[in-house]
Amino acid sequence: MNILVTGGAGFIGSHIADAYIEAGHHVVVIDDLSTGHKENVNPKAAFHKLDIRDPALQDLFVSQPFDIVNHQAARGNVRASMEDPMVYADVNVKGGIRLLECCRRYGVKKIIYSSTGGCVYGELRYLPADEMHPIQPRDPYGASKASFELYLPVYKINYGLNYTILRYPNVYGPRQDPLGEAGVVSIFIGQMFRRLRTVVNGDGEQQRDFVFVSDVARANLLALDKGDGEAFNLGWGHGVSVNRIFDRLKEMTDYPLDKIHGPAKLGEVRHCYLKAEKISKEMGWAPQVDFDEGLCRTVDFFRPIFMGQR
């Protein structure tokens, strides 16, 4: 199949593009490189530096047919969205609609959309959250991702554009930006290898469901021909505290310093972990890389990068 991956130079998108190429598909990647990196792009993929809001997006669809669009491109920082909600609506909603218009005009069969189970559900009423949990985001990022979900059934009903929604938990692994503002695992690793003081927001007992990036890529591979017209959680169904992450990474990196506790962040959900029975039953997906193994793989990826800088 011919597949377009938006945000394919980013952390998750590049792993998805790799999985599609390994499975024998032809992949085109677009990314504006605002947070992605060209070196993440598989050399077997065709790459175009392009923002999904750019009218030139249509030219790409005119130039070649796509069977599937995998939509990973988004602004994805909860804290930044609190500061500038208009940008998050512009990219994640209006940019997404521009993409949908290209899909319906140029014969795309299906769009696979990366949503967020960590933010669309808000503060959970019950744990673990299943797909029937009320949508009640607490930040503009989560609101923008939930808003775009509502457009997908509209385009399916009116134009026959199929879709699958994957609601991600906290994803971690190689290529995640350790110098960014999101992704606690990679940020802690970067700080520890550089021997910087590591700040834990709040008391550190907030819990998240952490899934390794290769498991997320595998779900996107399964979604090529499964899960039509449905939304699915990814997750382990149990949480891991920020304090536990710090303690395990401290051991793995031989970090000599103690953590510092800072103030809790505005809009941050206290506990969030996701029930993934639906995708297990309908698509045969379950996470395979347990948390300690995933941390080891991630530390091993970053070790040569940072050890050379000390």
Same-domain pairing of 24 and 121: yes
User: Catalytic annotation on 168?
Assistant: no
pLDDT at 19 over 50: yes
pLDDT at 97 over 90: yes
Catalytically annotated residue among 20, 88, 113, 141: 141
Q: Looking at residues 223-232, what average pLDDT do you find?
A: 98
The answer to whether position 64 is within a domain reads: yes
The answer to whether position 278 is within a domain reads: no
Instruction: Look up the pTM and report it.
Output: 0.96
Residue 55 exposed, middle or buried by CB count within 10 Å (0-12, 13-18, 19+): exposed
> How many Cβ atoms sit within 10 Å of the Cβ of residue 145?
31
Same-domain pairing of 20 and 131: yes
Q: Looking at residues 126-137, what average pLDDT do you find?
A: 97
Give the span between the Cα atoms of 278 and 232, in whole angstroms: 7
Q: Looking at residues 11-31, what average pLDDT do you find?
A: 98
Are the C-beta atoms of residues 183 and 168 closer than 8 Å to each other? no
Give the span between the Cα atoms of 239 and 274, in whole angstroms: 9
For residue 57, give the nearest of 113, 6, 112, 2 by alpha carbon. 6
Mean per-residue pLDDT over the chain, rounded? 96
Give the span between the Cα atoms of 70 and 250, in whole angstroms: 36
Same-domain pairing of 71 and 183: no
What pLDDT, in 10s, does the model give residues 36-67? 999 999 999 999 999 999 999 999 999 999 99
Q: What is the pLDDT, as a whole number, of residue 268?
A: 74
Q: What is the pLDDT, as a whole number, of residue 148?
A: 98
pLDDT at 290 over 50: yes
Kindly compute the dihedral angle of the four CA atoms of residues 130, 133, 139, 145, in this order, to the nearest 10 degrees.
70
| Residue 211, amino acid | V
With a CB cutoff of 8 Å and minimum separation 6, the contacts of 16 are 5, 8, 70, 72, 216, 217, 220, 221
Q: Would you call 77 helix, strand, or coil by DSSP?
A: coil
pLDDT at 4 over 70: yes
Here the CATH number for the domain that contains residue 66 is: 3.40.50.720
Same-domain pairing of 102 and 250: no
Give the span between the Cα atoms of 253 and 188, in whole angstroms: 10
Give the span between the Cα atoms of 213 and 287, in whole angstroms: 10
pLDDT at 310 over 50: no
Give the span between the Cα atoms of 40 and 182, in whole angstroms: 18
Under the banding of pLDDT at 50, 70 and 90, the label for residue 156 is very high
Q: What is the pLDDT, as a whole number, of residue 78?
A: 87
Q: What is the pLDDT, as a whole number, of residue 239?
A: 96
What pLDDT, in 10s, does the model give residues 239-280? 999 999 999 999 999 999 999 999 988 767 789 999 999 999
Q: What is the pLDDT, as a whole number, of residue 77?
A: 87
Same-domain pairing of 8 and 130: yes
Q: What is the pLDDT, as a whole number, of residue 179?
A: 84
Rounded alpha-carbon distances, angstroms, from residue 104 to 65, 68, 245, 301 = 12, 11, 43, 40
Q: Per the structure block, which two tokens stand in for 8?
A: 């394919």
Q: Which domain holds residue 147?
A: 2-171+211-233
Same-domain pairing of 227 and 298: no
pLDDT at 182 over 80: no
Q: What is the largest CA-CA distance in the chain?
A: 59
pLDDT at 164 over 90: yes
The answer to whether position 98 is within a domain reads: yes
| Residue 277, amino acid | E
Ramachandran bin of 188, using left for φ above 0, alpha for ψ from -120 to 50, beta for the remaining angles: alpha
Here the CATH number for the domain that contains residue 195 is: 3.90.25.10
Same-domain pairing of 138 and 108: yes
Instruction: Give the residue, 76 or 293, on which the prediction is more confident.
Output: 293
